[in-house]
Amino acid sequence: MFHEELGQAITQNWIALILIFPLMGFLINGIAALFLSQKYPRSASNLVSCLVIALSLLVTAYGFWSLNRVSPEAYFSQKVFTWISVGDFSVSFGLQFDHLSAIMCIVVTLVGLLIHIYATGYMAHDPGYARFFTYMNLFMFMMLILVLADNLLLMFVGWEGVGLCSYLLIGFWYEDWDKAKAGLKAFIVNRVGDFGFLLGIFTLFWAIHTLEFSGMRNWISENHFQFAGMTLFGIKVATLAGIFLFIGACGKSAQIPLYVWLPDAMAGPTPVSALIHAATMVTAGVYMIGRLSFVYVHSEVALAVVAVIGALTALYAGTIGLTQTDIKRVLAYSTVSQLGYMFLAMGSMAFAAGIFHLFTHAFFKALLFLSAGSVIVAFHHKEQDIMKMGGLSKYLPWTFRTVFIAFLAIIGIPPFAGFWSKDEILFKAFATSNQVLVKYHLSFFLWLIGLTGALLTAVYMTRWMILTFWGTSRVDEETKHHLKESPNSMLIPLGLLALGSAFVGFLGVPEFFGGHNWFEKFLEPSFAKALPGPELSLFGRGEYVEAILVVMSVAMAGLGILLAYAVYLRKPGMADELAQRYRAFYHLSFNKYYVDEIYDRLIVSPLIRISYYFLFRFFDMGVIDGVIINGTAKLNQWLGKVLRRLQNGVVQTYLFFFVSGLLIIILFLGAIHPAHLALNKGYGATIIYILKTLWENLI
């Protein structure tokens, strides 16, 4: 009987289990790290942290299987408990598992599990081992709340939660101030974006009076024209909310101008970098726009802003990646650039294409970062400068073979994963249905920017491969003797991610290539339907246009490989010559266009001065310490001096205060009516009356 009840409970509440397992891992590892410390075996921490994510993945797979057994429009939901209830307003801790959240849960749990397994080897000798996996499980829990939430308020909890976890993990080695500062920077920059996200939530609630996604979608569907014409401060509500929410996305997903935290996030352990860049935090902004597509389709202006910022970020980050020398920092800027492509897709109303690139990117970007971690381990965590590497393919053969697949995927070489998703984005940007982009002839320029970004990606990633794995070794002889391949706990995840980087793209092969575009069709129920794009044709055949765009994209990737090969491998000295010839651009790119310095001069330093002189010196020390605290003490001291003078031994003084006190008490009790005080009956009668009243009221 018990087993039947347990099975029924699990069947009915399986969505919550996806969250509960990582939460259990967080609690078990956290309590063990806090109270058992060194007595808690690392093998137990390994088992707990990886097992809970594996169980979460299994439940996700069950949900995915269940989703395919019901009608395409159906989804699963679960109200765990009523979270907030104030008058007519209530918010539940509600979860929903639809096609979009299914894809996201697969990305988070599958890639997250492989990163956890990898981390057991990477962090094997770190003294904060249990604490690390405690934070990692918490990170997974918060990200899963974000993607499974059925309302904006609960999504915001996950949104803030991943921000907190990024702070804890980026600054994991907090004894090093630079690393702690990187975590603090990520936390603060994201707070700026989160303010915009909150404004977007308030705007939508003001207009629709609900925060549940299903309720919002149904209301907008039933009140289409009313919502389309609704304004706030003279601006369409959909536009205002869309831009506010996108500000939040710019923070979480590192877009211009709030991207500056992500490259510095490299200060954390490499598994953290992989988790943030591939499976969790930076994908949140893209997912949020996809989840709220039913709002965004009512504001092509907001979507145009998303597309333009995304395209510019893709190009801008690519130009910085050309000159970076830290093995992980190059990959960080590639993440910023690839996220730009995702937002370009979202702004072009190609929501499925954006999520498809998010999906494929998770595999090859996790593989790139974990391969970089394998190199760092080979150098015993003492070197990350690719200018001091080279020729590592001979010493790290398995790492090289797997990272080579990720390299082909990210630059868009067919048939690897990145080719299918990136080319789909470029085609949809060229043939966008966003009428604002079409009207102002922006679609062509955005496609051109995306194409140029593809060229830059091929150049800086080929440069990264040459300087790290190919070419002449620049490693000193003593270090060479100690170079060896990573342990199996790190290599097995690399191999599995390599398989994903090679093959997951086939899930979205478009009809043009003879595929069924399963990925787009699977996600179709989750997105609002956009208007069809313009009919494109060449010689009367629409497929010719797509064929030309594909050829141009692959040609750009090939050109990028050839350029990097010529500069960094065939004629190694040419790189220095180009740096000298184009010194201004080189310094701008290498120093990240001095954006951090500009922010520091215009924003950070003035705020620090305001905080010091106004908040600290004037308000804290002057008002709180000086007036309130010290003022209260001085007032008490003064009153003490006054009262001491009253204790002078004169009977008349004591009698005066005694009678005054009696009068105050009687007045307080309401025993004497003002009319009695007006009577002039003499002092004796008044005293007798006072004593009588006091006797009646007090005694």
Q: Given CA atoms 565, 568, 574, 576 in this order, what sign does their dihedral have? A: positive
Q: Report phi then psi at 513, rounded to 5.
A: -95, 15
pLDDT exceeds 90 at position 35: no
- Report the Cα 100 to chain-centroid distance in Å: 18
Strands 89-97, 76-86: parallel, antiparallel or unpaired by DSSP? antiparallel
Q: Which of 277, 47, 281 is nearest to 145 (CA)?
A: 281
- What tokens were used for 347? 């702004």
Average pLDDT over residues 603-626: 85
**CA–CA distance, 593 with 596 (Å, rounded to integer):** 8
In this predicted model, what pLDDT tens digit does every residue of 155-193 receive, in sequence order?
A: 999 999 999 999 999 999 988 888 999 999 999 999 999
**Are 523 and 507 in contact, with CB atoms under 8 Å apart?**
no
Q: Report phi then psi at 591, rounded to 5.
A: -95, 15
Task: Return the pLDDT at 663.
Answer: 77
Task: Return the pLDDT at 4.
Answer: 52
**Are 366 and 496 in contact, with CB atoms under 8 Å apart?**
no
- What tokens were used for 33? 């790290």
**Are 162 and 54 in contact, with CB atoms under 8 Å apart?**
no
**CA–CA distance, 527 with 128 (Å, rounded to integer):** 43
Task: Return the pLDDT at 362.
Answer: 96
Query: Please, what is the average pLDDT of the chain?
Result: 88
**Are 379 and 476 in contact, with CB atoms under 8 Å apart?**
no
pLDDT exceeds 80 at position 539: no
Q: Which of 364, 377, 182 is nearest to 279 (CA)?
A: 364
Task: Return the pLDDT at 618.
Answer: 83
In this predicted model, what pLDDT tens digit does every residue of 59-117 receive, in sequence order?
A: 999 999 999 888 888 889 899 888 888 877 888 899 999 999 999 999 999 999 999 99
**CA–CA distance, 695 with 21 (Å, rounded to integer):** 71
In the structure, what pLDDT confidence band is assigned to residue 575 with cuts at 50, 70 and 90? confident
pLDDT exceeds 50 at position 652: yes
Q: What is the pTM of this model?
A: 0.88
pLDDT exceeds 90 at position 619: no
In the structure, what pLDDT confidence band is assigned to residue 253 with cuts at 50, 70 and 90? very high
**CA–CA distance, 501 with 572 (Å, rounded to integer):** 30
pLDDT exceeds 80 at position 440: yes
Distance between the two ends of the chain, CA-based, in angstroms?
Answer: 71
Task: Return the pLDDT at 612.
Answer: 84
**Are 15 and 95 in contact, with CB atoms under 8 Å apart?**
yes
